[in-house]
Copies of this chain bind each other. A is one copy, B any other.
Amino acid sequence: MEWEKIFASRASRMKASEIRELLKLLEQPDIISFAGGIPDAALFPAEEFSKAYAEVLTGPDAVPALQYSVSEGYKPLREWLVGEMGKLGIPCAPDNIFIVSGSQQGLDYIGKVLLSPKDTALVTWPTYMGALGAFNAYEPNYDKLDPMTNREPSTYAEKAAQGGGRVKFAYCVPEFSNPSGETIPRAGRENILNLAEALDIAVVEDAAYQQLRYSGETVKPILALDIERNGGDIDKTRTLYCGSFSKTLAPGLRLGYIVAAQDVIRKLVLVKQASDLHSSTVNQVVMGKVAHKIFDAQVEKIRKTYSHRRDRMLEAMTKYMPVGVEWTKPEGGMFVWVTLPKGFDGASLLAKAVRDHRIAFVPGKAFHADGTGENTIRLSFSCASDDAIETGISRLGTLIKSEMAG
């Protein structure tokens, strides 16, 4: 199931025949996989969820939990999120928060509201494939957002006009990005806001990994910086903060949220009304209960486990990678991003890795809006045991060395 998700959900960028071939190879049980960008299911608080569903469905909440509900989302869950946002330096009200069916749906709705065909979305190189998939439905052009070395604002506007539209937003994953694992420092976040202000566009801050910091200093979310620039008033900001419960509590309930200015939220709520009415009521009620009870403890548990795995993977990389291979040192999240020497092709390396070395990863090309990045691969440590990391990275080192020698 993991594999189908990884590849099939990238279908907009991969040929069906390629997917089928990969799936076939990857069904073999002895493969050590660093490919899945998914949380470790062993960490899901199944018992707490079980208790919460029972409590909700046998009590006075049963009727509203099973009935139709409002499109903006279950109010107690939004109220709980107000408290969490406050901790991140994002003062807001429930009307600034909108519950969606996973942050992927948030990205889709943002594309639907903001993008017309030939408009331009600014994205990092590489960027989250799921975001490209969501935006692609609205037929935009892409231009390269580089937080530390952005071009003159006018050059973005001119290029967008040449493409037949306007720049509509800048999208990024500022913390422990999927796929790069990198964090945008405060200066980069301010640069993004400067650019957005100059172009008068929105900023889409994908905060899917927000809670998963294992080391390094906390950096304020872009929305928090935007609020500071606007005298503490979130309703004057241009940033849409997309959060998720998938990486902390569980993805199977499909719940995420968008935090933004009220007039932005109202537009997004209208999109949801027309497209699926609202997210599952019972899941929202249950998520509210479980989050209220165990969120901090659950985040602590996940951080401890993933932090250990990150450390093991970085140690193994140092031990087994030959000179000429570079990789990121993430302060959190799930991913290490590897840049191989020029001439390497991640996709053909994957085929050899699976066939001859029984290991797997995701080739990096699919994360690039312009089809570059052939010599990059993404490794995920979120589901890997110590043994799998030691053995798998050792095998990867052997493969890369033999390719370099050949």
Enumerate chain A interface residues (CB-CB to B < 8 A): 1-2, 4-5, 8-9, 11-12, 38-39, 41-42, 44, 46-47, 49-50, 53-54, 57-58, 62-71, 100-102, 104-105, 108, 112, 130, 133-134, 136-137, 246, 250-254, 270-271, 273-283
Name which residue of chain B comes closest to A109, CB basis. Answer: B275
Q: Which residues of B sit under 8 angstroms from A273, Cβ to Cβ?
A: 8-9, 11-12, 133
A228 CB to nearest B CB, Å: 31
Which partner residue on chain B sits nearest A113 by CB separation? B137
- Option from B9, B53, B276 in Cβ contact (under 8 Å) with A277: B9
In the bound assembly, the distance between CA atoms of A5 and B274 in angstroms comes to 11
**Given A54-B50, A63-B41, A63-B46, does the pair A280, B277 have CB atoms closer than 8 Å?**
no
Copies in the complex: 2
Given contacts A67-B251, A253-B282, A282-B252, contact A108 B274 (CB under 8 A): yes
Q: A50-B53, A104-B276 are in contact. Are A5 and B69 (CB under 8 A)?
A: yes
Interchain residue pairs A-B with the least CB separation, the first 7: A50-B57, A53-B53, A252-B281, A66-B252, A66-B250, A105-B276, A133-B274
Are A137 and B274 CB-contacts (below 8 A) given A1-B67, A46-B62, A69-B5?
Answer: yes
Say whether B12 contacts A270, CB under 8 Å: yes
In the complex, the chain B residue whose C-beta lies closest to that of A254 is B280
Chain B residues with CB under 8 A of A63 = 41-42, 44, 46
Report which of B57, B133, B251, B253 forms a contact with A46, defined as CB distance below 8 A. B57
**Which residue, A47, A136, A277, A279, has most C-beta atoms of chain B within 10 A?**
A277
Residue of B nearest to A12 (CB): B274
A276 adjacent to B67 (CB under 8 Å): no
A112 (CB) vs chain B CBs: closest residue: B137
A38–B281 Cα distance when bound, in Å, is: 14
- Find chain B residues with CB under 8 A from A57 CB: 46-47, 49-50, 53
14 additional A-B residue pairs with CB within 8 Å, beyond A69-B252, A130-B277, A252-B281: A1-B64, A4-B70, A46-B57, A46-B62, A50-B54, A66-B252, A67-B252, A68-B246, A101-B101, A108-B274, A108-B276, A253-B281, A254-B279, A280-B280
Given A50-B54, A65-B252, A137-B112, do A104 and B275 touch, yes or no (CB 8 Å)? yes
A102 to B12, CA, bound (A): 24
A280 to B287, CA, bound (A): 13
Residue contact B108 to A275, C-beta cutoff 8 Å: yes
User: Once the chains bind, are B67 and A38 in contact (CB under 8 Å)?
Assistant: yes
Nearest B residue to A58, CB-CB: B50
Write the nearest CB–CB distance from A20 to chain B, whole angstroms: 12
A-B contacts, 13 of them at CB < 8 A, read A11-B273, A38-B68, A41-B67, A50-B58, A65-B252, A68-B246, A105-B275, A108-B275, A130-B277, A134-B274, A253-B281, A254-B281, A280-B280
